[in-house]
Amino acid sequence: MHRPLSAIAAVLLSLVLSACNLPLGTPGVPTIPPEQAAGATVAALLETQQASQPTPLPPPATDTPPPPTLQPTVTSAPPSPVPTTGCTDMAQFVSDVTIPDGTLLGPGASFTKTWRLKNAGSCTWTSSYALVFFSGDQMNAPAVIGLASDVPAGTTVDVSANLAAPGSNGSYQGNWKLRNSGGVLFGIGSGGTGFFWVKITVGPTPTATLLALHPVFPLPSLVFAIPLTTTLAAASGTGGIFSPPGTVYAYPNAGDDESNRSYQGFVTFDLSAIPSGSSITAVKLDLNDHDVLGNPFSLGCLRAYVQDYGALEASDFFSGGATGALWRFCSEADLANASLQDGGSAGVAAVQSHLASGKLQIRLQFSDTASNGNSTADTLRPTPKLVVTYTP
């Protein structure tokens, strides 16, 4: 039971007042000052108050349930690749259909890489198979590209990926494999474990550089304005004829023989290798590859004329005064003279006018007399060549 603090205060006050009325001292009895007496009284009352209060009991024990036991969380693992049973998967690289190794591309250029592969295994590659990025530089390509149709064992297929060149100059390589319907990766080489790749170089393209250096001249003009030179050998239809009564033989010799018969040589040049629309700019007749019997230039100057004889016959031997020679050589040394080999504008016109027919035929002969009557063979035996310069 708790006494009110107001009652305690009243008792204390009465004790203090009573002490004030007590005599100041009693002989033989120790006198306690009033303030000490009051303090002792208050201390005794406080002890009594505290003793009368009940001792608090400890709180009753409660049954606290034990913390729950954590059970391990079971998560399902991703499915493992399932090998194809009963057959094998293997590829063989055949060729790069597009973008061969080291192709130069501009930064950010889009391109399509196509590989030609052979199914070198025994499994048919179905539409469940896929082309997959394996390692290296992906170059914005999809990670997985499904096959469009079945590829039986032993056949080839073209597989493609759309990519974009990186934005910085340098060399880049992306490695690829195939994946079967069970999720197993396979590729090329021994055991089908190797990858195939796309390898490019990123940098300034040659076309852009040429246009920057030559902005006034379009590139096609630079290419097609380059003159070309071709050397034509004597073709079918080449031969020679003795003077009448005329005998045709196989070599374009010119001069005479021991019987003082005259030789005339006939040469056919095939012009079909020169495009028909070409512009002829220079023509040379080269007879420097030759040998001689006797002294053929004792017969005079060797001359070359255009003669469209067709198939060579004995009647093609030319008698009489010849005019309009395109080439003239008056000594053996002249045959090696480049300026004398040059046919000039007349030679150019002759070849230009015969481009459509595809052949130029000429006759080689010495002077009109054709024999010096010394009963000695004086014969030039050349291997003729025609050197033509043209612009396509």
In a domain, 131, yes or no: yes
Instruction: Tell me the average pLDDT across 195-199.
Output: 97
Confidence of residue 247 (pLDDT cuts 50, 70, 90): confident
Check residue 131 and give its pLDDT: 97
Same-domain pairing of 193 and 277:
no
DSSP string, 28-92: TBPPPPHHHHHHHHHHHHHHHHHHHSPPPPPPPP--PPPPPPPPPPP-PPPPPP-PPSSS---EE
Q: Which of 40-54, 101-115, 162-176, 276-290 comes out lowest in average pLDDT? A: 40-54
Same-domain pairing of 241 and 196:
no
Check residue 211 and give its pLDDT: 46
User: Angle at the Cα of 385 (from 379 to 388), degrees rounded to 5?
Assistant: 145
Q: For the CA atoms of 94, 96, 102, 107, what is the dihedral angle to 10 degrees? A: -150
* pLDDT tens by residue, 210-239: 444 545 555 555 455 689 999 999 887 788
Same-domain pairing of 121 and 175:
yes
In a domain, 14, yes or no: no
pLDDT at position 366 over 60: yes
In a domain, 191, yes or no: yes
pLDDT at position 372 over 60: yes
Cβ neighbors of 297 (< 8 A, separation 6 or more) are: 330, 331, 332, 366
Instruction: Give the H or E element holding residue 263.
Output: strand 262-270
363 and 305 Cβ atoms separated by less than 8 Å: yes
Same-domain pairing of 378 and 244:
yes
Check residue 341 and give its pLDDT: 94
pLDDT at position 23 over 80: no
Domain that residue 151 falls in:
91-207
* pLDDT tens by residue, 276-306: 889 999 999 999 999 999 999 988 899 999 9
213 and 206 Cβ atoms separated by less than 8 Å: no
In a domain, 30, yes or no: no
**Final residue belonging to a domain, choices 146, 174, 207:** 207
Helix (H, G, I), strand (E, B) or coil at 156: strand
Domain of residue 101, CATH code: 2.60.40.10
In a domain, 387, yes or no: yes
Check residue 324 and give its pLDDT: 86
Same-domain pairing of 381 and 285:
yes
Residue whose pair of structure tokens reads 């100057």 in the numeric block: 301
* pLDDT tens by residue, 115-140: 999 999 999 999 999 999 999 999 99
Instruction: Tell me the average pLDDT across 229-250.
Output: 83
Domain count for the chain, please give it.
2
Check residue 34 and give its pLDDT: 44
Same-domain pairing of 240 and 387:
yes
Same-domain pairing of 344 and 246:
yes
Same-domain pairing of 235 and 368:
yes
Same-domain pairing of 233 and 196:
no
pLDDT at position 208 over 60: no
In a domain, 70, yes or no: no
pLDDT at position 345 over 70: yes
In a domain, 299, yes or no: yes
* Percent of the chain with pLDDT strictly greater than 90: 57
Same-domain pairing of 144 and 276:
no
**Final residue belonging to a domain, choices 175, 207, 239:** 207
Same-domain pairing of 149 and 101:
yes
In a domain, 54, yes or no: no
**Final residue belonging to a domain, choices 178, 207, 236:** 207
Is pTM beyond 0.75 here? no
Same-domain pairing of 203 and 234:
no
